[in-house]
Amino acid sequence: MIEVTGLTMRYGDALAVDDLTFVVKPGLVTGFLGPNGAGKSTTMRVILGLQAADAGTALVGGRPYGSMREPMREVGALLDAGAVHGGRSAAAHLWCLARSNGIGRARVGHVLDQVGLAEVASRRIAGFSLGMRQRLGIAAALLGDPGVLMFDEPVNGLDPEGIRWIRELMRLLADEGRTVLVSSHLMGEMALTADHVVVIGRGRLIADTTMSELVARFQRGVLVRAADQPALAGLLVSVGANVREEDGGLSVSGLDATRIGELALARGIALRELTPRNASLEEAFMELTEESVEFGAGRAAG
């Protein structure tokens, strides 16, 4: 479990994280979403004790990172996959990390296998592709077999196969009961990965909810096609729905797809299509963050 409470962090006069409070629970993949500069990396760095907060606390398993005797066994993180010593081999890099954290050599082989780098274990990191570096960074995060994992934009620059691999790994880690926090500025990617989302903008909390609730919140009506469309339109309007013609079908709001299907069935109208439509999650994200920008502007003016 990660508990962030009233976290505030400034760079000079600029407020990067502003009184942020949220909890990341075990057994779930939690997406940490926000546009560039929202404060995601800063929050993660404070959780990892790499930066001191100006106010508030960030606890992992009830304790600040700085008080852990063997932190790699409690929390693993991928922050910047580029930041490794290129002259070493993958195995040497991991063994160096393991040794300085009291972790046995067997874990090095285990995590190299787990991330699919076993065959290139003795190659110098300098020759690694971005995807291989990401995998190596994830191997390092997993080295201490920690219960809490944080990944900052892990899919950045990866090909579709690499993205799918990361998605499946997150799921597996959460299913093992671990706490998984993964940041992204791409809502669409998160929709496929996360169970829960924490959305921030300008360092402030915008939403802390389940992914399915967020999707439902941005539901954009139902597209329906029927054998007898005028009859269906009349029926739906008679129960209070908003109906307009669209693309040879009916765009319906005010009723969900289940209810529309039941009404059509009861009246004996055959349906040819019944499609609930959501705003793209990118649109939802824009809306959410625009609200936060407006909120920010309002506060500044007031």
**Binding site residues, ligand ATP, CB under 6 A:** 11, 14, 16, 34, 36-42, 185
CB of 83 to ligand ATP, least distance (A): 14
Taking a C-beta distance cutoff of 8 angstroms, is the pair 276, 216 a contact? Answer: no
Rounded CA Rg of the chain: 24
Q: Which of 104, 2, 14 is nearest to 58 (CA)?
A: 2
Q: What are the start-end ranges of the H helices in 143-228?
A: 160-175, 187-193, 211-217
CB of 150 to ligand ATP, least distance (A): 12
Q: Which is nearer to ligand ATP, 42 or 179 (CB)?
A: 42
**Angle in degrees, CA 118, 121, 127, rounded to 5:** 120
Q: Which is nearer to ligand ATP, 11 or 85 (CB)?
A: 11
CB of 96 to ligand ATP, least distance (A): 27
Q: Scanning the structure block, which residue is given the tokens 């909810």?
A: 209
Q: Which is nearer to ligand ATP, 174 or 199 (CB)?
A: 199
Tokens of 49: 């004790």
Tokens of 29: 């993949």
Q: Which is nearer to ligand ATP, 144 or 201 (CB)?
A: 201
CB of 141 to ligand ATP, least distance (A): 17
CB of 204 to ligand ATP, least distance (A): 12
Q: Which is nearer to ligand ATP, 96 or 297 (CB)?
A: 297
Answer positive or negative: Cα dihedral of 171, 21, 54, 302.
Answer: positive
Burial code (b: 16+ CB inside 10 Å, e: under 16) for 93-118 equals bbbebbeeeebeeebbeebbebbbbe
